[in-house]
Each structure stands twice: as C-alpha cells, then as structure tokens.
C-alpha cells in the first residue's frame, strides 16, 4: 500500500505500542489496514481490529480490508457474520466492537488495532484487551482523533514520555495527511469554533473550559527528578479517608519539584505515617496537613491527626484554619508560572495523580467553585497545602484593590 510520509514513519516504527493522534480524514483507516495486513503476513498470527462499536467496525473497515486481502490473494475464507478473515498462511484478522468488551476476553493476540480509541471505554483496554497481548507479547496500534485532556486517550498518548522503550506517539494535522485540500481546511476553520477546529483538524488535545490550574502545561512542568533526595522532604496531606492523599516533594534552586505521592483508599493517618517513613527513612519530614486535623480524632485513644503526625516524628506546619480556597489556587498558579514566565513547580512523571489533578479539575459551570469530583480534588488539596505554605499569596499592602495579589518571595518554614 502506498503510504504518505507521516504514515510511513508510524509504519516503520518498531515500538511495541504506537499511538497516532491525527486530524479527521488524515488516512488512519488506510494505516490500520496496512498494519493489519503486515502483521498477518507472518504465519499463524491472530490480529484484531477493534472499533468503538461492532457496527462501526463493519462500516469503516470491513469492505476495504476484504478488497485488499482479495487483491493480495491471501484469503481462504471470509466470515461475513463474525467479520473474520482466514488467510492461506494460517493467520486470521477479526473485526470487533468494544461496546461489549467483556466478550473479548480469553484470547491471545499477536497484533491489535484500536481505532478511534478515545471513544472506547478505558476498561476495554486496561482490563480486557491489554491482557490478550501478554502471553504472545503482542503489539498494539492506537489511532484516533483526540477528545480532550480529560479523556484517557491523552494518558495513552503520553505513555511515550513515561515508557519510551515500549511506547511511541505521533500527532499529525489533517493537512499533513495529504488527503484534504488546504482550501477545505480553511473553509472548516471559518465554520467551526477554535476549540473544535483544533481538535478535529489539527489533532490537538484541548483543555476543559473553566480549568482551575490554567498555568499547568505538561510539556513545561512534567520533568523527571534526577538529583539526590535531600535530607528534608515536604509533604502536603489531605485527610479524606477514600482516598488519603499526599503530595511529596523537595525544594530546589528554581522552586519546588514533586517527586512522589500517596493515594491510599480505606486508610488512616497512622498508616500514612508508616508509609512515608518507610519510603524516606532518615529524612527530616515537614508535613503540611489539612488544618481540620487539629480537631479530627482518628485514633482509638482519641488523638487528633496532627498529634499522630507529631508523634511519628514529623514537623507539622499548619495554621488554625486552612487558607481560603481561592488563595491556595492562586498560590499554585503563581508558582506554576509567574507573570515573568518563571516556572516554579515541576512534577516527576510518576506522580500521575498530581499531574491529572492539575490538568483536569474544573470550576462548576458558571462559578468559581471547584468541582469536587473525588478523583482530582483531594490530591489538589494536598498539593495546595504545601505550596500555599511555602509560597503563599498575600495582598499587596500598597494597593488593596480586589484581585490585586502577589506571591511572597522566598520560602516559609
């Protein structure tokens, strides 16, 4: 099959898992058919194409793939009902729908294509399809158009950053595919709003409207911590039981680097203390907890959370009440990126809950009230407690107009 240069780059990539995020009409289906045929050219391979629904699998690729296999003279049998092709070399290619993904269990695959995977439930991959590749160490190709930073496709796309040995990712606009004229794309730009055009034609991941931590940018703020862990560790802590959340980091010359996290369900403060000490023995640990822990009693003998932390040997830094939510948010945004463009917060890639929290938490529609979704808000609270203590926001005493805030220079311990 004749491929464009971008398609060729992906086709020639030998990574076990490849991700192609592309604009509409880029040529994703052509690439999928080519890669299915390539994988099935090896004898006795089991290859699957999975679309969001069974109907889509038939409509999008069945006839085109059948024509190609007949052209190659590879076919011995076509099952029109099960959408399965049997080849002369003993390989099979089957088309499946992820709308009933539990029915896809129990097979071993050599190669898998997930088309428009942003529209597929993440459990279809994590709990069902990923295990089908394990015994044969099969390969996977994810193709589709992005659905925003909040969609699981964004996490899959960024796997190449976290595990470059096994994953590679590509991002192409519609124009780069060479199948849609520039004039048509210009017309679409006039017809669509900016966010929709960027997503559908440029293939970019768009942020939610009303995102709280608008200064966070994964490309600028996610960076592996390569230094030695210093003698002093700083830990923001939220006491919610499900989950107990901690954001752990160190101070650096440029600001603060989050290097670790805790997210433990059905836990308690004693267990959190034990885990932190296990990970960081012989370190001096400053903890910045939820101020409500002064009164919240979590032990059988009536000790408060703050006392438990102190008895564990931690240095507890907490005011009588938590800082206002808007001040905590402002402190994090200011440290993420100052008005002069200085980046003051970095996050190690392994700290996924911290990254997801900063990317995804939004305000309730039409308000400045954070949406409490029990997924991002507790980790963000932990992150905010440590940052707002070390780098607090205070009113400019020379100008008390509403909204006139500035970040205190230096650190507070």
What secondary structure does DSSP assign to 219-265, as a single string? Answer: HHHB----S---SEEEEEEE--STTEEEEEEEEETTEEEEEEEEEET
- Please tell me what DSSP assigns to residue 322: P
Phi, psi of 366 (to 5 degrees): 75, 10
What secondary structure does DSSP assign to 43-106, as a single string? Answer: TT-EEEEEESSHHHHIIIIIHHHHHHHHHHT-EEEEETTTTEEEETTS-EEEEEEGGGGGGG-S
3-state SS assignment for residue 271: helix
CA distance 330 to 386: 13
CA distance 339 to 328: 17
3-state SS assignment for residue 185: helix
- What are the sequence ranges of the domains in the chain? 5-181+189-202, 218-407
Q: What is the pLDDT of residues 187-217, one digit of tens each?
A: 888 777 677 788 888 988 876 567 889 889 9
- The list of the chain residues with pLDDT below 50 reads 395-412
Within 8 A by CB and 6+ apart from 385, the residues are 236, 237, 238, 288, 289, 290, 318, 322, 328
What is the value of pTM for the model shown?
0.62
Query: What value does the mean pLDDT of the chain take?
Result: 88
Q: What is the pLDDT of residues 204-251, one digit of tens each?
A: 887 656 788 988 999 999 999 999 999 999 999 998 777 899 999 999
Residue from 255, 271, 260 nearest 233 by CA? 260
Both tokens of residue 139?
């390969």
CA distance 223 to 236: 20
Both tokens of residue 202?
């440029």
150 neighbors 201 (Cβ within 8 angstroms): no
218-407 domain in CATH 3.30.420.280?
A: yes
5-181+189-202 against 218-407: fold identical: no
Superfamily of domain 5-181+189-202: P-loop containing nucleotide triphosphate hydrolases (3.40.50.300)
Check residue 374 and give its pLDDT: 57
């Amino acid at each position: 099959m004749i491929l464009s240069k971008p398609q060729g780059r992906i086709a020639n990539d030998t990574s076990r898992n490849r991700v192609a995020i592309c604009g509409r009409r880029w040529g994703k289906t052509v690439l999928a058919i080519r890669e299915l045929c390539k994988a099935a050219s090896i004898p006795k391979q089991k290859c699957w194409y999975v679309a969001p629904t069974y109907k889509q699998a038939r409509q999008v690729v069945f006839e085109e793939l059948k024509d190609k296999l007949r052209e190659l003279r590879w076919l011995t049998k076509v099952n029109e009902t099960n959408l399965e092709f049997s080849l002369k070399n003993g390989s099979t290619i089957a088309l499946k729908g992820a709308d009933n993904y539990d029915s896809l269990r129990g097979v071993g695959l050599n190669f898998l294509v997930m088309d428009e995977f942003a529209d597929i439930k993440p459990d279809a991959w994590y709990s069902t399809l990923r295990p089908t590749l394990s015994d044969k160490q099969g390969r996977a190709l994810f193709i589709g158009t992005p659905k925003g930073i909040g969609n699981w496709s964004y996490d899959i796309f960024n796997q190449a950053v976290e595990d470059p040995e096994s994953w590679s990712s590509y991002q192409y606009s519609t124009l780069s595919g060479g199948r849609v004229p520039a004039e048509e794309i210009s017309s679409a730009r006039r017809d669509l709003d900016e966010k929709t055009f960027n997503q559908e034609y440029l293939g970019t991941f768009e942020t939610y409207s009303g995102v709280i931590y608008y200064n966070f940018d994964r490309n600028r703020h996610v960076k592996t911590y390569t230094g030695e862990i210093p003698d002093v560790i700083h830990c923001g802590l939220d006491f919610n039981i499900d989950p107990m959340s901690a954001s752990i980091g160190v101070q650096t010359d440029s600001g603060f680097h989050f290097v670790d996290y805790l997210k433990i369900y059905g836990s308690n403060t004693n267990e959190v203390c034990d885990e932190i000490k296990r990970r960081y023995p012989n370190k001096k640990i400053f903890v910045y907890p939820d101020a409500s822990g002064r009164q919240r009693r979590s032990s059988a003998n009536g000790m408060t959370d703050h006392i438990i932390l102190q008895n564990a040997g931690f240095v507890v830094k907490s005011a009588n009440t938590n800082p206002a939510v808007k001040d905590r948010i402002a402190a994090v945004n200011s440290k993420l990126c100052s008005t002069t463009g200085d980046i003051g917060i970095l996050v190690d890639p392994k700290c996924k809950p911290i990254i997801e929290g900063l990317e995804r938490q939004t305000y309730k529609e039409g308000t400045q009230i954070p949406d409490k979704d029990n997924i991002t808000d507790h980790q963000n609270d932990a992150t905010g407690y440590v940052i707002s203590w070390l780098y607090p926001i205070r009113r400019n005493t020379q100008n008390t107009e509403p909204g006139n805030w500035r970040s205190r220079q230096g650190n507070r311990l």
